[in-house]
Homo-oligomer: A and B are copies of this chain.
Amino acid sequence: MNVDIVAVGTELLLGQIPDTNSQWLGQELAAHGLSSYFHQHVGDNGPRIVTAIRTALARADAVIICGGLGPTQDDITREAVAEVMNVPLVRDPQIVEFITTLFAERGRVMSPNNARQADVPQGASIIPQRRGTAPGLICPVGHKVIYCVPGVPYEMQEMFERAILPDLEARAAARGETAVIRSRVLRTWGAAESTLAEVLDAHVQELENSSNVTLAYLASGIEGIKVRLTARAADEAAALEVLAREEARVRDILTSRLGDIVFGVDDETMEHAVARQLIDRGLTLAVAESVTGGLIASRLVAVSGASQWFRGGIVSYASDVKFDLLNVDRGPVVSGRAAEQMAVGVRERLGADVGLGITGVAGPDSQDGEAPGTVFVGWAVGDVIEHVRLHLPGDRPRVRQYSAISALDALRRQLDQI
Contact = CB atoms under 8 A, between A and B. Distances in A.
Interface of A: 11-20, 22-28, 30, 36-43, 45, 48, 51-52, 55, 59, 218-219, 287, 289, 292-298, 300-302, 304, 306-307, 310-318, 320-321, 324-325, 349-351, 362, 364, 396-397, 400
Contacts of A315: 287, 294, 297, 301, 312-315
Count this chain's copies in the assembly.
Answer: 2
A297 B350 CA distance: 18
A84 B115 CA distance: 46
A43 B2 CA distance: 13
16 contacts: A11-B218, A15-B23, A15-B27, A15-B28, A17-B219, A18-B20, A292-B301, A293-B306, A294-B294, A294-B313, A297-B297, A297-B315, A307-B318, A310-B318, A312-B316, A325-B350
Contacts of A45: 37
Given A23-B19, A312-B316, A13 B37 contact: yes
B302 A298 contact: no
A81 B351 CA distance: 64
B302 A292 contact: no
B42 A320 contact: no
Given A38-B48, A310-B317, A313-B294, A15 B22 contact: yes
Contact of A15 (B30, B349, B397): B30
Of the listed residues A15, A22, A298, A396, the one surrounded by the most CB atoms of chain B closer than 10 A to its CB is: A15
Given A41-B38, A298-B293, A317 B311 contact: yes
A414 to B, nearest CB: 21
Nearest to A20: B18
B15 A18 contact: no
A304 B307 CA distance: 32
A20 B26 CA distance: 15
Given A13-B36, A15-B30, A218-B16, A317 B294 contact: no
A36 B12 CA distance: 10
Contact of A318 (B51, B52, B350): B350
Contacts of A36: 13
A371 B35 CA distance: 45
B37 A22 contact: no
A298 B301 contact: no
Contacts of A43: 37
Contacts of A397: 302
B15 A301 contact: no
A12 B26 contact: yes
A301 B362 CA distance: 10
Contacts of A14: 26-27, 30
A283 B26 CA distance: 50
A288 to B, nearest CB: 10
